[in-house]
Amino acid sequence: MPAEHLADAGRCGACKAGLPPSAAPIEVDSPAFREITGGARVPVLVDFWAGWCAPCRLTAPEVEKVAREMAGRALVLKVDTEKEPALASQYGVASIPNFLVLRGGLILRQQPGAVPAEAMRSWLEAAGA
Protein backbone atom coordinates (compact mmCIF):
# COMPACT_ATOMS: atom_id res chain seq x y z
CA MET A 1 0.00 0.00 0.00
CA PRO A 2 1.40 3.45 -0.82
CA ALA A 3 2.58 5.52 2.16
CA GLU A 4 -0.07 8.18 1.66
CA HIS A 5 -2.79 5.54 2.11
CA LEU A 6 -1.48 3.59 5.13
CA ALA A 7 -3.89 5.46 7.43
CA ASP A 8 -6.86 4.94 5.08
CA ALA A 9 -9.37 2.11 4.91
CA GLY A 10 -9.23 0.47 1.49
CA ARG A 11 -10.04 -2.58 -0.59
CA CYS A 12 -7.89 -5.45 -1.75
CA GLY A 13 -7.31 -5.21 -5.49
CA ALA A 14 -7.62 -8.97 -5.91
CA CYS A 15 -10.50 -10.08 -3.69
CA LYS A 16 -12.14 -6.68 -2.97
CA ALA A 17 -12.18 -7.39 0.79
CA GLY A 18 -12.09 -4.35 3.02
CA LEU A 19 -8.68 -3.38 4.41
CA PRO A 20 -8.56 -1.42 7.67
CA PRO A 21 -6.06 1.40 8.25
CA SER A 22 -2.73 0.40 9.75
CA ALA A 23 -3.36 -0.37 13.44
CA ALA A 24 0.01 -1.81 14.43
CA PRO A 25 3.52 -0.41 14.60
CA ILE A 26 5.30 -0.76 11.27
CA GLU A 27 8.95 -1.87 11.44
CA VAL A 28 10.88 0.12 8.84
CA ASP A 29 14.32 0.45 7.30
CA SER A 30 15.72 3.74 5.99
CA PRO A 31 14.03 3.68 2.55
CA ALA A 32 10.62 2.80 4.02
CA PHE A 33 11.10 5.42 6.74
CA ARG A 34 11.73 8.13 4.12
CA GLU A 35 8.81 7.02 1.98
CA ILE A 36 6.32 6.87 4.84
CA THR A 37 7.38 10.02 6.70
CA GLY A 38 7.53 11.97 3.45
CA GLY A 39 4.23 10.71 2.06
CA ALA A 40 1.96 10.22 5.07
CA ARG A 41 -1.01 12.56 5.27
CA VAL A 42 -1.27 12.03 9.04
CA PRO A 43 1.19 12.55 11.91
CA VAL A 44 3.80 9.81 12.37
CA LEU A 45 5.12 8.59 15.72
CA VAL A 46 8.55 6.97 15.40
CA ASP A 47 9.90 4.65 18.12
CA PHE A 48 13.70 4.25 17.98
CA TRP A 49 14.47 1.06 19.92
CA ALA A 50 16.73 -2.00 20.19
CA GLY A 51 16.06 -5.58 21.26
CA TRP A 52 18.60 -5.49 24.10
CA CYS A 53 17.01 -2.37 25.65
CA ALA A 54 14.86 -3.21 28.70
CA PRO A 55 13.00 0.16 28.73
CA CYS A 56 12.28 -0.34 25.02
CA ARG A 57 10.73 -3.73 25.72
CA LEU A 58 8.66 -2.24 28.57
CA THR A 59 7.44 0.58 26.33
CA ALA A 60 6.58 -1.68 23.36
CA PRO A 61 3.04 -2.52 24.61
CA GLU A 62 2.37 1.21 25.06
CA VAL A 63 3.51 1.86 21.49
CA GLU A 64 1.25 -0.93 20.22
CA LYS A 65 -1.67 0.52 22.20
CA VAL A 66 -1.17 3.93 20.60
CA ALA A 67 -1.02 2.37 17.12
CA ARG A 68 -4.36 0.63 17.73
CA GLU A 69 -6.04 3.68 19.27
CA MET A 70 -4.82 6.11 16.60
CA ALA A 71 -5.49 3.88 13.57
CA GLY A 72 -6.70 6.03 10.71
CA ARG A 73 -5.54 9.25 12.42
CA ALA A 74 -1.79 8.58 12.78
CA LEU A 75 0.91 6.05 11.90
CA VAL A 76 3.40 4.41 14.24
CA LEU A 77 6.83 3.33 12.99
CA LYS A 78 9.53 1.33 14.77
CA VAL A 79 13.20 1.79 13.88
CA ASP A 80 15.66 -0.78 15.23
CA THR A 81 18.77 1.28 16.01
CA GLU A 82 20.96 -1.83 15.71
CA LYS A 83 19.87 -2.30 12.09
CA GLU A 84 19.57 1.40 11.19
CA PRO A 85 22.32 3.26 13.11
CA ALA A 86 22.69 5.93 10.39
CA LEU A 87 18.99 6.80 10.65
CA ALA A 88 19.23 7.03 14.43
CA SER A 89 22.30 9.25 14.09
CA GLN A 90 20.55 11.47 11.54
CA TYR A 91 17.91 12.27 14.17
CA GLY A 92 20.37 12.67 17.03
CA VAL A 93 19.18 9.61 18.89
CA ALA A 94 21.67 9.25 21.76
CA SER A 95 19.52 7.15 24.10
CA ILE A 96 16.64 4.74 23.59
CA PRO A 97 13.76 4.48 23.60
CA ASN A 98 13.52 7.74 21.72
CA PHE A 99 10.35 9.04 20.11
CA LEU A 100 9.77 11.44 17.25
CA VAL A 101 6.55 12.95 16.02
CA LEU A 102 6.73 14.02 12.38
CA ARG A 103 4.21 15.66 10.09
CA GLY A 104 5.01 16.23 6.44
CA GLY A 105 8.57 15.09 7.14
CA LEU A 106 9.11 17.82 9.76
CA ILE A 107 9.98 17.06 13.38
CA LEU A 108 7.31 18.39 15.72
CA ARG A 109 8.56 16.67 18.87
CA GLN A 110 11.42 14.49 20.06
CA GLN A 111 11.35 12.77 23.44
CA PRO A 112 13.88 10.31 24.87
CA GLY A 113 12.90 7.82 27.56
CA ALA A 114 10.00 5.53 28.30
CA VAL A 115 6.61 7.23 28.32
CA PRO A 116 3.02 5.99 28.68
CA ALA A 117 0.60 5.65 25.80
CA GLU A 118 -1.35 8.68 27.01
CA ALA A 119 1.65 10.95 26.42
CA MET A 120 2.27 9.56 22.93
CA ARG A 121 -1.42 9.96 22.08
CA SER A 122 -1.40 13.58 23.26
CA TRP A 123 1.65 14.33 21.06
CA LEU A 124 -0.12 12.92 18.03
CA GLU A 125 -3.32 14.81 18.80
CA ALA A 126 -1.34 18.04 19.16
CA ALA A 127 0.18 17.27 15.73
CA GLY A 128 -3.29 17.11 14.20
CA ALA A 129 -4.27 13.45 14.52
Q: Which helix (H) or strand (E) holds 108?
A: strand 106-112
Query: What residues act catalytically?
Result: 53, 56
Helices 117-126 and 54-69, interaxial angle, to 10°? 50
Q: Which of 59, 75, 78 is nearest to 67 (CA)?
A: 75
User: Following CA atoms 85, 21, 126, 35 in sequence, which dihedral angle do they give, to the nearest 10 degrees?
Assistant: 40
